[in-house]
Amino acid sequence: MAETEKKLLKDKVALITGGSRGIGKEIVLRLASEGASVYYLSQSQGPHAEEFAAAAQQHGVFITHKQGSVADEDRVKTIVKEIVEESEGVDILINNAGITRDGLLMRMSSEDWQQVMDINLTGAFYTCRALTRSMLRRRSGSIINVSSIVGLIGNGGQTNYSASKAGLIGFSKSLAREVASRGVRVNVIAPGFIKTDMTDELPDEQREALQGQIPLGRIGEGTEIADTAVFLASDMASYITGQVIEVTGGLGM
């Protein structure tokens, strides 16, 4: 069997928010490796444009940047309209864009609360609302919202972030019920502690303390979140909707 026939997302089109770096970057590359063409929405093209171009050429797909903020309602509408017209439809939507503005509640500014809500939760509302009509008409689609383990168990100093990620879970479960009859699936990935530039900069003692909380004894990789996204986007998950998949090394047990 030819290699292209084995690809799980062959000829699919995906839109990923926050795809320019970190977990989003790994999702872009992983979906492309499985045959999906990818649009990624972010404020800037990011530092991996050359890597994306090489991956697109290698796998015979396109990876295209769309500039904008998920918190900008009008811009999201415009971008989704452009993408649907260019591609004749989007098969996969992954809401990965997210920010943190950490601080104790008694010291948290209203601006820090609202910015986190606007990007992490309202942004997903904007993209889903703009795209679901097209998916419903086509009677197919997979929406994956990237939440966090702190949306399930909480974390001191992150009331805004935890609330936004918990809200994303409730949003996803409700949307899953609304669109299931038309063949559109909605699921959530809840990552735990994942290796990023921030965790790389932690002192050894702090990193060891962090790992000590994780039953598997290590910090996760962005590629492990990307693998989960591929599974949920593919036909392997054709009977899965409204679920929260924890990728945490057992942290949420």
Q: b vs e for 212-238, b when ≥16 Cβ sit within 10 Å of the residue's Cβ?
A: eebeeeebbebebbbebbbbbbbeebe
Q: Is position 199 within any domain? A: yes
Is residue 196 within 8 Å of 148, Cβ to Cβ? Answer: no
Is residue 22 within 8 Å of 225, Cβ to Cβ? Answer: no
Is residue 36 within 8 Å of 92, Cβ to Cβ? Answer: yes
Mean pLDDT, the chain, whole residue set: 94
The pLDDT tens digits of the residues spanning 159-180 come to 999 999 999 999 999 999 999 9
Instruction: Give residue 2's pLDDT.
Output: 42
Could you give the CA distance from residue 163 to residue 23 in angstroms, rounded to a whole number? 20
Q: Which amino acid is at 247?
A: V
Q: Is position 121 within any domain? A: yes
Q: Is position 1 within any domain? A: no
Q: Is position 38 within any domain? A: yes
Is residue 26 within 8 Å of 51, Cβ to Cβ? Answer: no
Given the residues 39, 40, 161, 239, the one annotated as active site:
161
Is residue 26 within 8 Å of 18, Cβ to Cβ? Answer: no
Three-state DSSP state, 33: helix
Of 195, 189, 204, 107, the C-alpha closest to 152 is 189
Is residue 169 within 8 Å of 146, Cβ to Cβ? Answer: no
Q: Is position 251 within any domain? A: no
Helices (H) and strands (E) in the chain, counts: 11, 7
CATH code of 109's domain? 3.40.50.720
Q: Is position 106 within any domain? A: yes
Q: Is position 236 within any domain? A: yes
**Domain carrying residue 106:** 9-245
Q: Is position 212 within any domain? A: yes
What's the N-to-C CA distance of the chain in angstroms?
Answer: 41
Instruction: Give residue 88's pLDDT.
Output: 85
Q: How many domains does the chain have?
A: 1
Catalytic: 161? yes
Residue 98: CB atoms within 10 A of its CB come to 24
Answer yes or no: pTM beyond 0.75: yes
The pLDDT tens digits of the residues spanning 120-162 come to 999 999 999 999 999 999 999 999 999 999 999 999 999 999 9
The pLDDT tens digits of the residues spanning 33-83 come to 999 999 999 999 999 999 999 999 999 999 999 999 999 999 999 999 999
Which residue's entry shows tokens 């974390």?
Answer: 155
